[in-house]
Amino acid sequence: EKGGYDHFMLKEIFEQPQTIFDSLRGRLDAEQQHITLSGVDKIKDKLMEANRIIIVACGTSWHAGLLAEYVIEELCRINVEVEYASEFRYRNPIITDKDVIIAISQSGETADTLVALENAKKQGATIFGLVNVVGSSIARLSDAGAYTHAGPEIGVASTKAFTAQLAVLYLIALKVARDKQTIDQTLFNKLLADLAKVPQFVHDILEEQDAAIKAVALKYADARDFLYLGRGFNFPIALEGALKLKEISYIHAEGYPAAEMKHGPIALVDENLPVVFVATKDSYHEKIVSNIQEIKARKGKVIAVISQGDNIVAGLADDVMVVPQVHEVIAPLLSVVPLQLLSYYIGVHRGLDVDKPRNLAKSVTVE
């Protein structure tokens, strides 16, 4: 049942070229430069005149939501708020019938997310569900939606469901941007073309980087703490990398926007602290290079996710994990993959049950 892999988590990480492909299939047509998403068409009028989009989720799905905020605001010029479902449901939020809510949930059964949506629906908001489990409670409550086609996810820590969520969120953002004419045809085509290449690129990362990442994992498996830093589109990936490490290895890890490190976390840096930089080539690259130099100046150990051919960061970092270069908007879908593997190999090296981390449940149906 694990298809020859030692754990479901590893199997599911390696399934991602296929699951991302499945989530794009029949929806993304790079040649015809067209996106088909009937769920988006169904609420098109609402989306076109939406005051704002509110994204509601928990955990890893919340990280997908945070990235969606960056992408939707950039491409669609719609104001986006990202909410932890547990906070949103209790703080009497201001919701009107001009609000569109995107609910993100692998299981479709997370109690806080479900109740937050029920409340918002009563106040007239339109609910769009981005859910993996077909027919689940959140899917049924939604006015419209799109399924992620990741297949059943057995590993308690989410991997392939996360990348499927990102794939579909990109499609939603691109489709709305095209409908609203907030991006030009050239950028639209470029992003579509890069998105279409992602399954192959993820395949390449898994093939080419697996052994190197395993070696990096062994090197740092005894660390007490980790810091994960990223800027812009890669900031949500820093958060997700840190969460994955906590869950799987029980090592304390924190994710931060790279520039925030000066406002506190830099006090933690010494020769025992590994700092993971999500540092693929983008418009913030020079800035993140100087953040890396600041860590190195304090003797921190730098592990960096870099774009192929980035000799600058490769020269500064203690260890690198390399991903193909794509447009910066799409890059997070690649940069998360090495971080999944890093957590996996550290957890396995520490002798832990990576498929069923202690105290965690696959779907949190109680609050």
Is residue 287 flagged as an active site residue?
no
For position 157 contacting ligand F6R by CB under 6 A, the verdict is: yes
Q: By CB under 6 A, tell whether 363 contacts ligand F6R.
A: yes
According to the binding rule CB under 6 A, does residue 105 interact with ligand F6R? yes
CB closest to ligand F6R, residue no:
59
Interface with ligand F6R, residue 137, by CB under 6 A: no
Q: Which of 16, 23, 106, 280 touches ligand F6R by CB under 6 A? A: 106
Minimum distance, C-beta of residue 260 to ligand F6R, in the bound complex (Å): 22
Cβ count near 142 (within 10 Å):
24
Helix 185-220 to helix 332-349 angle (10° resolution) is: 10
Q: How far apart are CA 21 and CA 25, in angstroms?
A: 6
**Alpha-carbon torsion angle 73, 78, 79, 83, nearest 10:** -80
Q: Which of 46, 197, 219, 362 does the annotation list as catalytic?
A: 362
Nearer of residues 104 and 198 to ligand F6R, judged by Cβ: 104
Q: Which is nearer to ligand F6R, 106 or 291 (CB)?
A: 106
**Out of 16, 60, 126, 142, which residue is the one contacting ligand F6R (CB under 6 A)?**
60
Of 355, 17, 308, 348, the closest CA to residue 214 belongs to 348
User: Least CB distance from residue 176 to ligand F6R, whole Å?
Assistant: 22
Stretch that binds ligand F6R, among 59-67, 116-124, 260-268, 294-302 (CB under 6 A): 59-67
Return the range that interacts with ligand F6R (CB under 6 A); candidates 58-66, 89-97, 276-284, 288-296: 58-66
For ligand F6R, the closer CB: 324 or 357: 357
Which of 58, 101, 227, 331: binder of ligand F6R (CB under 6 A)? 58
The three-class DSSP label of residue 224 is: coil
**End-to-end Cα separation, the chain, in angstroms:** 32
Binding mask 219-258 for ligand F6R (x = CB under 6 A): ------------------------x---x-----------
Binding of ligand F6R at residue 107 (CB under 6 A)? yes
Give whichever of 105 and 163 is closer to ligand F6R, judged by the CB atom. 105
Single out the residue of 82, 104, 103 nearest to residue 93, CA to CA. 82
Q: Is 163 helix (H, G, I), strand (E, B) or coil?
A: helix
Q: Three-state SS for 278?
A: strand
61 binds ligand F6R per the rule CB under 6 A: yes
Query: Please, what is the minimum distance in Å from the beta carbon of residue 270 to ligand F6R?
Result: 29
Q: Could you tell me the two tokens for 83?
A: 């909410």
For 48, residues 6+ apart whose C-beta sits below 8 A from its C-beta are 179, 180
Asked if 136 touches ligand F6R (CB under 6 A), the answer is no
- For the chain, strand residue ranges (E) read 28-29, 34-35, 52-57, 79-84, 99-105, 126-131, 144-147, 225-230, 252-257, 274-278, 301-307, 319-323
Smallest distance from the beta carbon of 229 to ligand F6R, in angstroms? 20
Residue 364 is a binding residue for ligand F6R (CB under 6 A): yes
**Amino acid letter, 7:** H
Q: Is residue 209 at the binding interface for ligand F6R, with CB under 6 A as the rule?
A: no
Say if residues 135 and 88 touch (Cβ distance below 8 Å): no
Interaction of residue 110 with ligand F6R, rule CB under 6 A? yes
- How many Å apart are CA 256 and CA 238, to the nearest integer? 7
Q: Which is nearer to ligand F6R, 182 or 363 (CB)?
A: 363
Task: Give the total of residues touching ligand F6R (CB under 6 A).
Answer: 15
Look at residues 101, 144, 108, 136 and name the one whose alpha carbon lies nearest to residue 122. Answer: 101
Shortest Å, Cβ 332 to ligand F6R: 16
User: What does the alpha-carbon distance between residue 79 and residue 339 come to, in Å, rounded to a whole number?
Assistant: 30
Q: Which chain residues interact with ligand F6R by CB under 6 A?
A: 58-61, 105-107, 110, 113, 157-158, 243, 247, 363-364
Return the active site residues. Answer: 362
